[in-house]
Amino acid sequence: MMLGFGVTLLLQGLAAVLLGISAEYLHKSRFHGLLAPVWSGCMAIATGLLAICSGKTPNHKWLRHWTHALSFVTSLIAIAALIIGVMGVTVTCSDDVTNIHPAYPCGERRALHVTALCLALGTLVAAMALFITCCSYYVTCPSCDVTCPTCDVSCPTSNVLCNCCRTLREPRRRKTPPVGAPLPSRSDPGEDTVQQEMSEHAHENPYVFPDDPPPYYIPDVQVEIDEFEMLEMYEKEVKKTVRFKDQDQSAI
């Protein structure tokens, strides 16, 4: 949206600058000397360029703030150019001006003022629309400092929550199985991975009985059984003490 308003302001500004320069050198008039279309078009060009850059990089907060401020200034200058255009249309073909400049045709000068008036009106509408868009469309999320449109999702604190924060806060919805499909297992998939690792590394402990569950395996840790460890017998159960020793012997 901001990109479209930026392109519109840029084209209107270029047309206004060309119109103001040609009106000054081709058809002298009392209000053409003010060069209202020229400085109004220059402001529209600057605002349009900032709006295009801000539309392509919406995460840049300061660029959006400068576009917001410059669009307001462009609106004020467009209002001034609009007033000058109205005065030029009404005063250009009056008797006093015709008597002062009899050599210049009245119809052509009035047509130039009408064209400048239409360009000023279009610049005013585009600048005001850009001002409202910059103010309300993009908001920065306070959680992760990311700029996003306000239409994504509402947040009670800042009225906006970006996509990354929304995915973290919203629980994942489980897909319902089709009719007749077997019910999924309630076991955690992480437990299956742990059991698989335990089974793969069960041969590292020679004191494990066949009926006992496989021991837990800790990666990057070497399991050693000291010769001086004693096996305690109590009620026909074997209690084994396993001392874990790091692979890096220099750290001990």
Domain coordinates in residue numbering, the chain: 2-136, 141-172
The predicted-structure confidence for 188-247, as pLDDT tens digits, reads as follows 555 556 566 656 655 555 545 455 555 544 444 444 444 444 444 444 444 444 444 444
Nearest-angstrom CA–CA distance, 30 and 114:
15
DSSP tag of 250: G
For residue 5, give both structure tokens. 């308003």
Q: What is the pLDDT of residue 50?
A: 87
Q: What is the pLDDT of residue 110?
A: 79
> Percent of the chain having pLDDT more than 90?
3
Q: In terms of pLDDT, which residue wins out, 50 or 142?
A: 50
Residue type present at position 173: R
Please enumerate in sequence order all residues whose Cβ is within 8 A of that of 196, keeping only pairs 6 or more positions apart, or say none.
Answer: none
Which element (helix H / strand E) includes 136? helix 106-136
Query: Measuring CA to CA, which residue among 21, 25, 69, 79 is closest to residue 47?
Result: 69
Q: In DSSP terms, which residues pair with 234 in a beta bridge?
A: 237
* pTM (whole model) above 0.75: no
Phi and psi torsions of 84, nearest 5°: -65, -35
Q: What is the pLDDT of residue 112?
A: 81
Assign 31 to helix, strand or coil: coil
| Angle (CA) 142 169 135, round 5° | 35
Please enumerate in sequence order all residues whose Cβ is within 8 A of that of 69, keeping only pairs 6 or more positions apart, or say none.
Answer: none
Most confident of 13-27, 119-133, 143-157, 229-243: 119-133
Q: In DSSP terms, which residues pair with 238 in a beta bridge?
A: 233
